[in-house]
Amino acid sequence: MNDSIRVLVLGTGQMGSGIARLVLQKHGLQLAGLYARRRQREGMDVGRVIGLDRDLGIHVETNLENVLDRVRPHVAIQATCSTVADAVKEISVLLGHGVHVISIAEEMAFPRYRSPTIADTLEALARQHSAAVLGTGINPGFVLDFLIITLTGVCADVQAINAQRVNDLAPYGPSVLATQGVGLTPEDFGKGIESGTVVGHIGFPESIHMIASALGWTIDRIEEERKPIISNVFRETPFVVVQPGQVAGCLHRAVAYRGDKTVVTLNHPQQIHPQLEGVETGDVIEITGTPNLRLAGTPEIPGGEGTCALAVNMIPRVLNAKPGLYSMADLPIPAAVLGDVRKLLAKGVVKTSHG
Amino acid sequence: MNDSIRVLVLGTGQMGSGIARLVLQKHGLQLAGLYARRRQREGMDVGRVIGLDRDLGIHVETNLENVLDRVRPHVAIQATCSTVADAVKEISVLLGHGVHVISIAEEMAFPRYRSPTIADTLEALARQHSAAVLGTGINPGFVLDFLIITLTGVCADVQAINAQRVNDLAPYGPSVLATQGVGLTPEDFGKGIESGTVVGHIGFPESIHMIASALGWTIDRIEEERKPIISNVFRETPFVVVQPGQVAGCLHRAVAYRGDKTVVTLNHPQQIHPQLEGVETGDVIEITGTPNLRLAGTPEIPGGEGTCALAVNMIPRVLNAKPGLYSMADLPIPAAVLGDVRKLLAKGVVKTSHG
């Protein structure tokens, strides 16, 4: 068997740490390095940073070029940011080194919509350096787009799509909680929306355009609405405390139109501990078409855990792909990688020059 | 825009007819011909055979070589049979003419398990003639394998898979009803199982091995059990009458083991009009793993309608694929094709030599 696939993880938050822990568990993968944007993490032992109770003998690095030159990864998983504008610099450096990239930045799920020029640049760079780039994650990237598209595959016609994801933000870190306004007063939530510190869900336009692109629809406009979910009870997580009357999360909704016709409606109320007020979490997809379809699951597919797993499980798909920029709708389906990851690779896809 | 994609449909039963009707509705597809195994259909107008109330001016043909030479299709959809052994001759002829093939023969969903030698031959033939072959269908091919694999993609680990599909056979034609023993006495059902005329669901080993292959599991053994579903009430379809005490369908179950551990359990009670005895149809997938997952839908994804749609919706995926033999787990996800199919094709995939 070949040497292990060397994986570089970018990001030391909840997601980066979870991904790194999972890489350590998989046969055929080697956690080659961990990159942090935060300078103060330089030199810390990776094991401690990702929440293990032991040292791993490898250290967090904060200079991306240096870590690439030293560990020569085959693939990198980016968990440092949410927007394409913020993600593009690291991705470009990775591609420039011929490293395949899996990004969980929300906007990278379908970068071509908001950032067509950057998408073209990444596509060209990927081809130039024989690497593939994929944006993935539970949402966007799976529940409210990929699964919907998959289900339409059994339809002769589709009139409208309605989907809802009711989730629990309690497992998330402080940066995610802040972007949903968790812990704010209703007044500060409104100010946060205006100033852009409270953003709600990032990814509705990406999901909608991924769906539209797959189905052959042109979308004329998307309307988004964000409302505070005001708690009637005390709620808390390790990172935030919500008093009654304060904001437990954000109810974010997007509606896409073709002409005057509503074709996609996505609802995504995100809050910490919804069950404390009797709200059941879950995912629901409804397709009005030929045939009508409805698929639902309770509780919701866990966002954090699921995103980490998806990012790692897509490694063989990305390594097998032709060079280029991909969304989840462009590659073969993910599958839990339970055996040796290397057995899933087409011959020759792990470049020996990296060895 | 290029000329239309010429589609040849093989089979004039419920499925072949449904597929042909759908091909007629899609922009960018042309129903180039309809092939029947039944000699008595030779020369009949295709419109009447597929259930339209008008002539189409093209005629059913029963010599496959002749129809291929005449219409030079880009892709053929095979709806003539269930087993690989029965399907291989037509597929080989199609591939020999450089025609891409989508087969809804149940065993073609994962031919490598039951027929590894034939699978190798088809793979070689496909590559030799620059064509792709895909097995698809709602089950096997989608609900009890493809969707399950997709869901495991969000799992860090999988311990066991349980899935159930409760469906209604009422929309199906006489050949499907006969293979499920519908309308027999319980005694004749037992004899039918022994003689092989009652087969239950075709496709459990295919689904299980498709799942195992995607996850990196080796399956040590599969146990299958078929029981008659005895009706307490009168049930009927255009093709069969079931009196109380007679068989309304077949409860077929498969359990797959790794060593002594049950890893996959698939339940598939198939009968006509289950709602007449208060049985709700539906699909349920449960994954025991990290995380646990459950996704369910009621009623079931319709088998006949869904299979026709899937076969047609996979046309662009098959035309874009590299030459070879594929299962649904090997290609990008299906999507309802609502716009012009030709817009979904990579450049140059429809060979101009066919024009």
Give the model confidence (pLDDT) of A94-151 as tens digits. Answer: 999 999 999 999 999 999 999 999 999 999 999 999 999 999 999 999 999 999 999 9
- Looking up residue B219, the CATH number of its domain turns out to be 3.30.360
Q: Are residues B105 and B50 both part of a single domain?
A: yes
Residue B319 lies in a domain: yes
Task: Indicate if the pLDDT at residue A1 is higher than 50.
Answer: no
Nearest Cβ partner for A329 among B308, B309, B332:
B332
CA A226-A78-A60 angle, 5° bins: 120
Residue B351 lies in a domain: no
The pLDDT tens digits of the residues spanning B161-180 come to 999 999 999 988 898 899 99
Nearest Cβ partner for A333 among B149, B302, B306:
B149
**Interface touch A333/B146, C-beta < 8 Å:** yes
Q: Which residues of B touch A152 (CB under 8 A)?
A: 313, 334-336
The pLDDT tens digits of the residues spanning B304-327 come to 999 999 999 999 999 999 999 999
Q: Are residues A46 and A154 both part of a single domain?
A: no
Q: Are residues A193 and A337 both part of a single domain?
A: no
Q: Are residues A288 and A171 both part of a single domain?
A: yes
pLDDT of residue B349: 67
CA distance A78 to A192: 27
Q: Which residues of A touch B157 (CB under 8 A)?
A: 336, 338
pLDDT of residue B354: 43
- What is the side-by-side strand order in the sheet with A132-135? A29-35, A5-10, A75-78, A100-103, A132-135, A324-326
Mutate which: A333, A342, A343, A349, vs B, most B CBs within 10 A: A333
**ipTM entry:** 0.95
pLDDT of residue A198: 96
Number of domains present in the structure of chain B: 2
Q: Which residues of B touch A337 (CB under 8 A)?
A: 215-216
**Interface touch B291/A302, C-beta < 8 Å:** yes
- Looking up residue B314, the CATH number of its domain turns out to be 3.40.50.720
**Interface touch B338/A306, C-beta < 8 Å:** no
Distance (Å) from the C-alpha of residue B288 to the closest C-alpha of chain A? 12
Cα dist from B137 to A13, A311, B82, B274, whole Å: 42, 28, 11, 22
Closest CA to B22 of B44, B51, B42: B51
Which DSSP symbol is given to A302? P
Domain hosting B91: range is 5-137+305-344
**Interface touch B310/A153, C-beta < 8 Å:** yes
Contacts of B286 (CB under 8 A, 6+ apart): B161, B162, B163, B292, B293, B294
Q: Are residues B80 and B197 both part of a single domain?
A: no
Q: Are residues A169 and A204 both part of a single domain?
A: yes
Judged by DSSP in three states, B206 sits in: helix
Q: Are residues A294 and A260 both part of a single domain?
A: yes
Q: Are residues B70 and B17 both part of a single domain?
A: yes
Nearest Cβ partner for A156 among B22, B154, B329:
B22
**Interface touch B329/A335, C-beta < 8 Å:** yes
- CB neighbours of residue B107 within 10 Å: 25
Residue A353 lies in a domain: no
Judged by DSSP in three states, B296 sits in: strand
**Interface touch B152/A335, C-beta < 8 Å:** yes
Q: How confident is the model at residue A353 (pLDDT cuts 50, 70, 90)?
A: very low
Contact A105, A73 (CB under 8 A): no
Q: Are residues A38 and A94 both part of a single domain?
A: yes
Q: Are residues A291 and A337 both part of a single domain?
A: no
Distance (Å) from the C-alpha of residue B111 to the closest C-alpha of chain A? 19
The pLDDT tens digits of the residues spanning B253-294 come to 999 999 999 999 999 999 999 999 999 999 999 999 999 999
Distance (Å) from the C-alpha of residue B216 to the closest C-alpha of chain A? 5
Residue A354 lies in a domain: no
**Interface touch A158/B22, C-beta < 8 Å:** no
Which DSSP symbol is given to A351? -
Residue B122 lies in a domain: yes
Virtual torsion, Cα A32, A36, A37, A40, nearest 10 deg: -140
Mutate which: B155, B207, B300, vs A, most A CBs within 10 A: B155
Residue A36 lies in a domain: yes
Residue A352 lies in a domain: no
Q: Are residues B226 and B271 both part of a single domain?
A: yes
Cis peptide bond prior to A291, omega within 30° of 0:
yes
Q: What is the mean pLDDT of chain B?
A: 95
Residue A349 lies in a domain: no
Q: Which residues of B touch A215 (CB under 8 A)?
A: 335-339
Nearest Cβ partner for B336 among A153, A329, A338:
A153
pLDDT of residue B3: 86
**Interface touch A334/B154, C-beta < 8 Å:** yes
The pLDDT tens digits of the residues spanning B298-307 come to 999 999 999 9
Q: Are residues A227 and A254 both part of a single domain?
A: yes
**Interface touch B142/A156, C-beta < 8 Å:** no
- Model confidence, pTM: 0.95
Report the residue of chain A nearest B314, measured CA to CA: A153
Q: Which residues of A touch B153 (CB under 8 A)?
A: 142, 309-310, 313-314, 333-336
CA distance A265 to A164: 8
